[in-house]
Structure 1
Amino acid sequence: VHYLSQGALQTANCTLVYWFLFLFLSPNPQGIAGTDVAKEACDIILTDDNFASIVKAVKWGRNVYDSISKFLQFQLTVNVVAVSITIISAFTITDSPLRAIQMLWVNLIMDTLASLALATENPTDDLLKRRPYGRTKALISRHMWLFIIGHSIYQLTTLLVLVFAGAQLFDIQTGIGRELRATPTQHFTVVFNAFVFMQLFNEINARKIHGERNVFDKIWTNWIFLSVMIVQTSVQIIIVQFGSVIFGTAELGWDLWMWCVFLGSLELVVNQLLLLIPVNKLPLKKLKLWKSKEEVDTYEQPYDPDENTRAQVLWMKSLRRIQTQIRVVNAFRSTLESGHLLHVSMLPTLQETPRPGRYQSNQTIEGRVTSV
């Protein structure tokens, strides 16, 4: 902003002020209230003159990021287990306990239905208490790596035990060494059924990606998630009990069904045990998954109540500064409409908080306009 020696500002130079405003208010989507220069210079245009829109934008932005992370950690876990059990079985028993049509159903659970269940969580106010994500932040966090590795180990171990010792444990006919077109056995059906139920319970665990223990928190408010879970469970029962011709399964008794559900429900227990492991001590830096200390899960640190107070103080200071700058814009606008000179005395005094000691002291900036 260029001031005259007499302390006045020419109306022809008023548009230069807009280049210092990174937040501009507009009463309608077209932004008629401001000039084209102001709209091009700003980063955000509030089309409804409501600062609450910024809060909603932050909540939804972080919620979308979390939804992608939830789906990603669930999908990677399923992929690791499915590929591993197929490769190990091919080398050891020259057969696969999971048939191609069964893998198609698992893929449907893993992709389409899981995305509907995990990506439909509504944003909550707790998202605002978390630190923002860095631009160079890894999409897979430390908690997610712990989730993927821990649950993959449990599922793969359980399935290998069922493949090699399941027939002896449940006293049923083995499916190892049978011909390709032989009658389906309960042995491999138990393996398939247990694998699916482990994914269903693990889908509940995938709702939380920041180390929260209560995986059932607000689950009843998401009717899409509950509907998807009911559909998946119902279809799985139909496939096992009545899909012998198409899916290559054998009908299971109540005892085998209870064992499959029990092995799947242990996913909830395994998840609670994994949360006892301190993620900051995991040797993941050796894999070069993080480049520097600044990129190490700053948003996953425990929430400090004092930080909420500091955030409120910063919010109030920012709000006061924005209100002051709105008065500056209104003063410029009224002067432009009237065609008179704008004196410096008409401008409100803006206060800028220095970076060091941000919450302790303020520094008055006279004679210039600062950006938001």
Structure 2
Amino acid sequence: MSAPAASIVPKEHVGLSGAEAARRLAEHGRNEIQRGETRSAWGVLLEQFRSPMIALLLGACAVSALLGEHADAIAIGAIVVLNALIGFAQESRAERALLALRSMTAPRARVMRDGYAVQLPAAEVVPGDVLLLEAGDIVAADARLYEAHALATNEAALTGESAPVDKAARPVAGDAPLAQRTDTVFLGTAVTRGTGLAEVQATGMSTELGKIAHLLASTGETETPLQKRLEQVTRTLLMACGVVVVLVAALGLWHGEGWMGVLLSSISLAVAAVPEGLPAVVTIALALGVQRMAAKHALVRRLQAVETLGSATVVCTDKTGTLTTGTMEVREVWGPDERAVLFTSAACCDASLGPDGKEGTGDPTELALLRAALAKGIRREELEGERPRVKVRPFDSETKRMSVLRADGVLYVKGALEVLLPRCRAGTEGAVEATRTLAGRGLRVLAVARGQGEEEEGLELLGLVGMADPPRPEAVEAVAAARAAGVRTVMITGDSPETALAIGRELGIVRPGEDAAELIHARVTAEDKLRIVRRWKERGEVVAMTGDGVNDAPALREAHIGIAMGRTGTEVTREAADLVLTDDNFATIITAIREGRAIYENIRKTLVYLLVGNVGELTVMLAASLVGLPLPLLPLQLLWINLVTDSLPALALVMDPARAELLSRPPRRPEEPMLGGHQWRHILLVGALEAAVVLGVFIWADPEQHVERARALAFSTLVFAELLRAFAARSATRIFWEVGPLTNRLLLGIVLFSAGLQVAIYELPAARGLFGLGALHTWELGLTFALGLIPVTALELSKLLRRGFPHHPSPSGRGTG
């Protein structure tokens, strides 16, 4: 209900008229966070099919359909659709983040209109309106204060400042940092105490919150290192496949083969070149990582985020609530009688602790004082019963102190030392030096005094209380683990430089002799955070960014991986992030880095395993064409090898457990490709060895006279070689028994199962006819198994030989196994 303005505000602050407010609403628009122009859903969906990997998958799908393998075509098509849907979901996250920003604005506001205080929808607030503020309100717009009575607002989500900000009507320079504009209240922040009057200066997208929305809309999704590396591999495969297919088709025509024979050869080579199991392998590897991380307090919103974090070289992290507990705590008490200091602090408080002694209502600083007092057995409830209040002078940003006169005649006072010191007649010796020492450690210092009567003169200074938002104990270990893993931790906070540096040193982010300006950034805005992330990216680093406030959201989207706090984080931050920590614990990030490294290692060794098989198949087909031999393998046989005897072991390889030493190595270089020179040499050499064995048995079997028997021998030899080589693929430096045969029982089971299927093909006449194979004797099957042992034996022997040359780089990793 409206009330006369004179009973609430001075006459000079009677507000706008209804007509003027309507005119300004039409001029400035509604006080809302606007959504930018969006693409159609169909346009976003179609864009997901514009990548080399998708082209490769569609090619494999078409080949399978041409050969009548409809089940394979459907499976590959399903993978294409799944990838497209995941990409579609990623593109829509920015819009959801902007919607979350809109939800932060106050639903209603109290303003002066036509001389009366009225409530109206916050969207109708216009520049020039007079806001009436009191504790519990959500500020409806950016506004300059006329009056402030013990007013404080919580701006942590906007500025990163951990403690409530005291507000005053004294003008502050317009170019002051956001966290230091004490004469202004901001849209979306909460009033924690006091009352005030403020004139609206900006609404909607012109507010500080609106500027963050602009930044959020201007930042795009960053392509992950895994996506880039897989696209490089895919392009290489496409080019190689095209060259070989054209070459073989030309050779076939030159040898006088008919068009049907040439088409059959080309299709066979295309099938041989395409690793159909790769998309499934990558998807399953990332999905397993998602499951493991969910069990360790991290929810993954995007599959690639798990692997990307394993590539991280820099973690830019917010301080409040991430590296620290997010609550104020008494860290040190200075004075001759600690109990007297805490008793007086509790006697001069308006806050109240909850039944558990931890949570409560009121100012975070006072809650910290009450928790410290409770630890000494001092309860404010008992104090209020024994010594009721007689008179209270509340804290005010002008006086910088609070006093409470109680029934025992004692005046309990707390405030800034510079204010209390002139009013004290005793206990002041060493107080100034102690204040400097405590402040130098990044502590917020409060002076505590007492006197007789209600006059705040002739007081006795009891001591000082140093408070801070303390580091999480596990964060200290996590920062050390990140450093050991070669990952730099960069702290970004809205707190003061002194507090930030003290916490940074306590956490071990900065060590003696290191440049603090590089690793610690204080008093930063949303624009500063975005600029810091971009600067690290320009230096070629893979950047992870953590945060919980609205001002973190643009930087989270700009980073290679954004990590939001699930408990204390805003909805805006969670929507903009790739990973959400349900325990708000920095240590969980280090666990995720280890998991990400394991996933990358498994994907790379599995990719090497698959490509060795593809190179072997291509070499067999190409070499036979060059010398004019019949096709050693038919398209259906190649599909069987790729989808059953290659892809099934690959799925088991990608599930290998993570090794303990992963965090003792430096991160991968950002420019390092998925497959470097060492990996390609390994692929070509082992693939050539497999091809030589298969071609040897094919030629020995006299294909000109007994082509079906020759193909049967070649087919069986290649299948056994692939299955057995899976055991050697688990490590680049350790032989099969050292890795532990039973540490991946799934692989052992799959190899035995696939080998059984292979033998069954030869035992069933219908299966032999389907695959175009001749019958084999038992000794011939034994021969193909023995020949299949040659590649894996050569690989295991090479590992033993390389141990005499410790500096020789491994073929599938940087000296790792």
Q: What is the TM-score with the length of structure 2 in the denominator? A: 0.29
Structure 1 window deviating more from structure 2 (36-45 vs 238-247): it is: 36-45
Measured in 1, the distance between the counterparts of 2:745 and 2:724 equals 17
Q: 2:788 aligns with which of 264, 268, 277?
A: 264
Distance (whole Å) between structure 1 residues aligned to residue 610 and residue 574 of structure 2: 42
Aligned to 1:59: 594
Q: Is the 8 A contact 1:77 1:149 kept in 2?
A: yes
1:24–1:46 contact (8 Å) kept in structure 2? no
Distance verdict in 2 for CA 1:232–1:131, change over 3 Å: same
Gaps of 5+ in 2: 1-163, 168-178, 181-492, 496-521, 530-544, 550-563
| Residue of 654, 658, 662 corresponding to 1:127 | 662
**TM-superposed deviation, 1:44:** 8.0
What CA distance in whole angstroms lies between the structure 2 residues aligned with 1:42 and 1:104?
40
How do residues 205-284 of structure 1 correspond to structure 2 at under 5 angstroms? 205-208=728-731, 210-214=732-736, 217-242=739-764, 243-275=767-799, 276=801
Q: C-alpha displacement at 1:31, in angstroms?
A: 4.2
Following superposition, the deviation at residue 145 of structure 1 comes to 2.8
Pick aligned residue for 1:202 from 725, 728, 740: 725
Secondary structure of the corresponding residue to residue 622 of structure 2 = helix
2:511 is matched with which residue? none
Helix, strand or coil at the partner of 2:739: coil
How far did residue 267 of structure 1 move? 2.2
Cα deviation 1:117-163 (Å, max 9, x = unaligned): 22112223122222211211111145423431231221122122212
Aligned 1:141-152 pairs, distance under 5 A? 141-152=676-687
- Could you say if the C-alpha distance between residues 162 and 225 of structure 1 is closer, same or farther in structure 2, counting changes exceeding 3 Å? same
Residue type matched to 1:217 in 2? V
**Distance in structure 1 (CA, Å) of the matches to 2:633 and 2:577:** 56
Q: Shift of residue 85 of structure 1?
A: 1.0
Residue 118 to residue 44, structure 1, CA distance change in 2 (3 Å): closer
Counterpart check, 1:83 vs 2:610: no
How many pairs are equivalent?
268
**Residues in 1 aligned to 2:576 and 2:631: alpha-carbon distance in whole angstroms:** 61
Deviations 1:48-74 (A, max 9, x none): 144441232012101111122122111
**Aligned counterpart, 1:300:** 814
Of residues 16, 22, 25, the one that matches 2:494 is 16
Q: Could you say which structure has the larger radius of gyration?
A: 2
Which of 175, 179, 184 is the matching residue for 2:703?
175
State the 1:108 CA deviation.
Answer: 0.8
Deviations along 1:189-242, one digit per CA (max 9) or x if unpaired, are 11111111111111222222x433346613413233223212211111111222
One-letter code of the match for 2:744? N
Structure 1 pair 35/77, CA: closer, same or farther in 2 (3 Å)?
Answer: closer
| Paired residue type of 1:202 | R
The percentage of aligned residue pairs carrying the same residue is 24
Kept after mapping to 2: 8 A contact 1:150/1:274:
no
Q: 1:241 to 1:19 in 2, by over 3 A?
A: farther
Change (3 A) 1:50 1:95: same
**Cα distance change, pair 93–234 in 1 and its aligned pair in 2 (3 A):** same
Letter in 2 for 1:229: V
Structure with a larger share of its residues in strand: 2
> CA RMSD, aligned part only?
3.9
Q: 1:214 to 1:245 in 2, by over 3 A?
A: closer
Residue identity matched to 2:774: A
Cα shift at 1:79: 1.2
User: Counterparts of 1:85 and 1:262 in 2: how far apart (Å)?
Assistant: 19
CA pair 38-74 structure 1, distance change in 2 beyond 3 A: closer
Cα distance in 1 between the residues matched to 2:790 and 2:675: 24
The residue matched to 1:300 in structure 2 has which SS?
coil
Structure 1: how far apart are the matches of 2:815 and 2:807? Answer: 10
**Which residue, out of 650, 668, 675, partners 1:115?**
650
CA contact (8 A) 2:548 2:573 kept: no
CA contact (8 A) 1:189 1:250 kept: yes
Seen in structure 2, the aligned counterparts of structure 1 residues 19 and 57 have a Cα distance that, compared at 3 Å, is farther
Query: CA deviation digits over 1:271-305, x for unaligned, max 9?
Result: 134333569779xxxxxxxxxxxxx99x72479xx
Preserved contact between residue 717 and residue 788 of structure 2 (Cα < 8 Å): yes
8 Å contact from structure 2 (residues 728, 796) kept in 1: no
| Partner in structure 1 of residue 634 of structure 2 | 99
8 Å CA contact retained: 2:565, 2:584:
no
2:604 alignment partner AA: S
Q: Does the C-alpha gap of structure 1 residues 205 and 142 become closer, same or farther in structure 2, counting only changes over 3 Å?
A: farther
Q: Distance in 1 between matches of 2:668 and 2:600?
A: 9
**Structure 1 contact 198–265 (Cα < 8 Å) conserved:** yes
Q: Is the 8 A contact 2:720 2:785 kept in 1?
A: yes
Asked whether the equivalents of residues 163 and 188 of structure 1 are also in contact (C-alpha less than 8 Å), the reply is yes
Q: CA deviation at 1:25?
A: 7.7
User: Where does residue 191 of structure 1 map in the other structure?
Assistant: 714
- Paired with 1:234 and 1:212, the residues of 2 have a C-alpha distance of 27
- Tell which has more relative contact order, 1 or 2 (C-alpha 8 A, sep 6+): 1
CA distance in 1: counterparts of 2:728 and 2:648, whole angstroms: 15
- Partner Cα distance (1:43, 1:101) in 2: 41
In the alignment, is the contact (CA less than 8 A) between 2:548 and 2:570 conserved in 1? Answer: no
What is the alpha-carbon distance in structure 1 between the residues aligned to residue 570 and residue 718 of structure 2?
61
Superposed CA deviations along residues 144-189 of structure 1, whole A, max 9, x for unmatched, are 234312312211221222122x23xxxxxx33256xxx8x32x321
Deviation, 1:252, is 2.2
The alpha-carbon deviation at position 77 of structure 1 amounts to 0.9
Closer, same or farther in 2 for the Cα pair 1:33/1:265, shift >3 Å? same
Whether contact under 8 Å (2:620, 2:691) holds in the other structure is yes
Change (3 A) 1:80 1:37: closer
In 1, distance between residues paired with 2:626 and 2:577? 61
- 1:289 aligned partner: none
TM-score (norm 1): 0.60
Structure 1 pair 235–45 and aligned structure 2 pair: CA distance change class (3 A): closer
Distance 1:301 1:224, change over 3 A: closer
Change (3 A) 1:19 1:221: farther
- Find the aligned partners of 1:65 and 1:225 in 2 and give their Cα distance: 18
> Match of 2:672, SS?
coil
Which residue does 2:59 correspond to in 1? none
Distance 1:56 1:255 in 2: 51
2:568 matches 1:33: yes
- Cα separation, partners in 2 of 1:249 and 1:279, compared to 1, 3 Å: farther
Give the distance between the partners of 2:652 and 2:671, measured in 1 at CA.
Answer: 28
Once residues 43 and 241 of structure 1 are traced to their aligned partners in structure 2, the CA distance between those partners, rounded to angstroms, is 51
Q: Structure 1 16/273 Cα, relative in aligned 2: closer, same or farther at 3 Å?
A: same
Quick one: structure 1 residues 142 and 156, their matched pair in 2 at CA, closer, same or farther if it must change by over 3 Å?
Answer: same
